[in-house]
Structure 1
């Protein structure tokens, strides 16, 4: 039996990348009559929807009223006709066997497996920032069993529609919607597995500005996730936790800039290696600022 698959792509002003993503999806080895492609748009204004309509007329476009990738994915899932939901981002490029490999992987396991994450590789290594593996989205929790939470990162995943609907889809308020869904799936008794042969190339931060912006956003997302699951991730709303985070950030930033970075410049390492202490300090500072943004917002809301 060949499963019908719905590929769902959240999209917001992705004119520069969505064409390559959709081209890779149209070139799949999986029979085209057995999958649909749904772009769930979040109010794009850069002409990407016109591009899709002109160059990819088979692609369905749905509108997500609420802003955020989680809400967009939910809009796509709601419109989906498939029993399997394949998830990819608008800035990703899928290997030609991506859908086929994910379907084969989920067919081999029991219904207790609600989701499978695939291999996420870097799209490019052109810039210094792109060389820093610590900043890649790479399905690390599934590949290496790292972290307290097991989940399928949504740039490359496949979900059974039943468990997704039982869970109510993604929580669009979280930011880390995929991690939140993974926690809820596991609490409900489902399992999440890994398919290394299902490959997607993902664009990671390529400039210092992008690195700072991404890490600040992730700092706020981490706060929200821990706030929802303090039993797993600790009580981030406790002032003592906030103080510890602040002190750890000071130690990491000062140590990186004052000690490690000057020492690295004296070595014969390649450029990315010499700049790593500086990049780590930038990421630490941005992560703290994101945490602080969320913490201040929490304090204000708790006083009302």
Structure 2
């Protein structure tokens, strides 16, 4: 893991900011011509004033029009810079972007996203008001097409994502992680770089280190952003397998995780184990049947409710939930096993 930049802690002294801090926004991206201009437009329209914002786009070698769109963008920002990310993974892009950043506070935003006009202002105000090391808000997931809407519904349901409050919470409070967090500059100085040996757990892993260093993370419903999820179940499976593998790797390294991170892998292991045991044990057969019915019943009900809120198909929503759970669980086991094998 990347070592902290200093031996200091984030709770050594109050985290203060200037009256109008310069905000660095780091955007890691790869082949995002469909979304990058819209995101830049949303940042240019911030009521904080684009002259108080610098935008650093860390590109992993896009082969579409992404790089040209950034270079040709008519920038109202204090600075707009395109930097290279030769490793082509998200965490490396975040590090390359932060090496170029000069702001008093910094925000990481996925290129597959957009933000409300008050996103930066609300983030800065919350950072000042709370004295937290990082602040963020709930993310609105908006799907495109029938499958995309179902995926958005699944990703906005507690049954789909567990107690990841940033997916659906409406109340402010301290949490373990947030998406698109706004960090005090001192976080970078104390916690150091993102860990480039684990891709797929960038924010969660980093935020765990922030908390270990004495920082607090605040969720504020006034800070709103929108995320556009994958548009096919196959792409969703690849995404969640990567997420799971990252968490499995961290677990093998002794990093503490939340209970929600273990549930999918327990399902992936427990189902086949009970099926095998059920060949000789009636109790195991009954347990498997009961758990399957519970999953179908609770999942079906949750999918119906989530689909209704998002205008999605409930069957596709349930399929998206199951895809997320199975892919994440399998990825977790894969990452854990691979890390253990590498250490042997």
User: So what's the TM-score if we normalise by structure 1?
Assistant: 0.81
Higher strand share: 1
Equivalent in the alignment of 2:320: 279
C-alpha displacement of 1:22: 0.7
- Which residue is 1:239 aligned to? none
Spell out the pairing of 1:137-176 with structure 2 (5 A cutoff). 139-140=166-167, 150-153=176-179, 156-174=180-198, 175-176=200-201
Which residue number corresponds to residue 91 of structure 1? 112
Whole-Å separation in 2 of the counterparts to 1:146 and 1:196: 9
What's the CA shift for 1:129?
A: 2.7
Question: Structure 1 residues 162, 249: CA separation in 2 closer, same or farther (over 3 Å shift)?
Answer: farther
Cα distance in 2 between the residues matched to 1:293 and 1:146: 34
Residue 128 (structure 2) aligns with: 107
Is the contact between residue 29 and residue 100 of structure 1 (CA under 8 Å) also seen in structure 2?
A: yes
Say if 2:327 is the partner of 1:290.
no
Selected match of 2:84 from 31, 44, 63:
63
> Per chain length, whose mean CA-contact separation is higher, i.e. which structure has more relative contact order (CA < 8 Å, sep 6+)?
2
Q: Given that residues 94 and 201 in structure 1 are in contact (C-alpha distance below 8 angstroms), is that contact kept between their aligned partners in structure 2?
A: yes
Residues 73 and 170 in structure 1, CA contact (< 8 A), matched pair in contact too: yes
Q: Is the 8 A contact 1:220 1:294 kept in 2?
A: yes
Q: Deviations over 1:228-258 (max 9, x none)?
A: 3445559x9xxxxx88851147759x93799
- CA–CA distance in 1 between the matches of 2:128 and 2:295? 53
Q: Does 1:51 align with 2:69?
A: yes
Given the two structures, how large is their TM-score scaled by the length of structure 2? 0.72
Query: Does 2:217 align with 1:192?
Result: yes
**Long gaps (5+) in structure 2:** 1-18, 274-287
Maintained 8 Å contact 2:106/2:185: yes
Distance 2:177 2:111 in 1: 20
Match of 1:26 among 39, 44, 66: 44
Deviation of 1:56 (Å): 3.9
Equivalent residues of 2:172, 2:218 under 8 A apart: no
1:193, distance to aligned residue in structure 2 (A): 0.8
- How far, CA to CA, are the matches of 1:209 and 1:4 in structure 2? 40
Unaligned ranges ≥5, structure 1: 237-241
Range 91-100 or range 27-36, more displaced: 27-36
1:24-56 CA distance string (max 9 Å, x none) = 111111122211111011222222001111234
Of residues 286, 292, 300, the one that matches 1:255 is: 292
Of 169-178 and 156-165, more deviation after overlay is shown by 169-178
Indicate how the Cα distance of structure 1 residues 229 and 178 shifts in structure 2: closer, same or farther if over 3 A, else same: farther
